[in-house]
Structure 1
Amino acid sequence: MRRLLLLGALAASIAVPAAAQPLDPPSAIAVHVRDGLLDTTDLSWLKGAFSRATTAEKADWIAALRWADACSAAREREVRAELRAMGVESVALPHAGDNDDRCFTFGVFALRARAFADWASFDAAARAARTRWEIFAHGVRLGAESVPFEPGWVNGNAEAMKLLRAVVREQAYRRAFSWRMPGQGPVQTDPEWALLEAYISVAVGREDHRNTEMLKALIAEKGWPSIPRVGAPASNAAWLLAQHADLDPAFQLKVLRLMEPLSARGEVSRSDYAYLYDRTMLKLSGKQRYATQAHCEGGKRLPQLLEKHDAVDARRAWAGLGPLAEYLASLDASFGPCPAN
């Protein structure tokens, strides 16, 4: 599992003796926690990361780094234990992330702080980025809460409506990541974008966590939202929420097992099942089956490691997916060709 390893990444020049750390944050972080969430309107808890920090601020920073590293280690143990209880010994698990918002948010902003020479430049960029993000987020909230969303085909199915509503905000937040592309959003400097991306990441992470907990409760009560029960759009919405539950690999595996027999009967989308299979199994075994996940290698877009290289197009056809060559070409068309190096 890829851990934050903030001690090494952010404080390589500071010798910090290893020590067991409680998961409760140190006082310098705890005072910025509101209702279990680390406050992002006041980032003064990051001052110790910069060279002109006071002795006390640097000491607080070292304590925070220890705590953040302990968070990652504890989450790794937790995820592996959950998977082991499901009969899976993960050999890949490149990351599970911190599903504790305090640890997650700390890591997101701490990594961005490395790009700034001093607190003043960081704080100025953060203020500019936060203003833009808050305006956007307020607009999303207004739209989600005030615009009627009652598609007639739902036919009063409360479960379907709940799933569809859950997707609206997380998709709106995710669209903000495209602002960096030309013509897609407000122009910002590189430093501002680094911080704006941090605010987007935290908002998306919080929305994903909220949706994951909602989906867990729904499944515990009624089972997986199949097409016969909630309709194809709402069933697809449930899949999308599970697809984005990356901080909870054990839950993704549980969903995959629920969807498998349903996919054989046509009660869930086979393409949804294929995408979740690949996303989940790449984390657990390091291999995928349907070649839905690609990366750049040697200047070319290629599928990540496959369970089997033969008959991949046949497996994709079963899932309702087009030939692999066409899929890779479509990714190049959408995101641009891979860099030559």
Structure 2
Amino acid sequence: MPEPTADLSTEENQADAADRRKQGEFVRGVSGFRSAIGDADFPAEPGRYHLFVALNCPWCHRVTLTRNVLGLQSGVSMDVAFPGRTEKDDPAGENLWEFNPERVASLTGGPLPECTDETATGEGLRLVKQIYAAEGSDERSVPVLYDKKQKRIVNNESAEIIRMLNAHAAALGSTIAQETRPDLYPDDADLQAQIDVLNETIYTRINNGAYKAGFSSDQNVYAAAYEGYFALLAELEDRLGADGRPFLTGDSFTEADLRLFPTLYRHDPVYFVRMKLNGARILDYPNLWRWLCRVHALPGVAGSSSLIHCRQGYFGRSWNNVVPLGPFRPMPYPQAYAHPELAERQ
């Protein structure tokens, strides 16, 4: 399999970023740790690497999806942060990811069982910020790929992490035989070119487009993101329907499908309201809905995230911290993802 490339062409243009933010545009920053498994300092070994994630975060969802579909649950360990950031009265400050398995979620009235303590550094750190601070960085984002032997951050760019996990799945301890394990970025130039084009378009208009719509405070920026998001959904609906292909590039599940899934998984129950993307549901696109159900049914996919974490994380950060309880029609989510026939009833 090819080695991960240094530039995956899916980062946001940082030109005039400060001015754009002042004018109300959401501008995503650039990740600062860009080493790779397979570099001289980071050989591919089972049990050596660790992921720090939050299950509500779609960029983390890319990584947990990859870990699960490649059978790396035992080869790459993982800690899960609480989906809500620290509050204003926290001694360390607000808006920080924390490992706090006892923290109570307002949605459920109790702790979330998926949340963990921090287990990789040997220090039981509470905050993701502290993991970065140990290396002199003021970054604070997840996901983080961490080397437990050297106590170093390897990489914090999700696009690169998923590529390297795929490239080194066997050496990292995949429990799935090579002949049955998905290859997310096959060694085929034409297919790679298709995946690369889809990745860039999906990132710009759907993955990051959802954030442009939901977190920008300028009406025109929001409108442009909204229109681009739904225009691409329509294009993907037609792509899947033109020849009845099960996945975006044909018969096989690839990185392009994996990178689209986290956003569409969140759309109906979360983004429709929270990101102001209320033009339509994925359920209103029959081919995309069936694709979403098809991907959700793949081994390991359903356990790679949690809509409870998503609801808590997104709505728990809204002005009143109240988390919506729906939708419940045509049935609650994620149970709806087991019913591809629902799109035919609309």
Report which structure shows greater RCO (CA 8 Å, sep ≥6): 2
Same fold (TM over 0.5): no
In our comparison, the structure showing a higher alpha carbon Rg is 1
Please report the TM-score for the alignment, with normalisation by the length of structure 2: 0.35
- Structure number having the greater helix percentage: 1
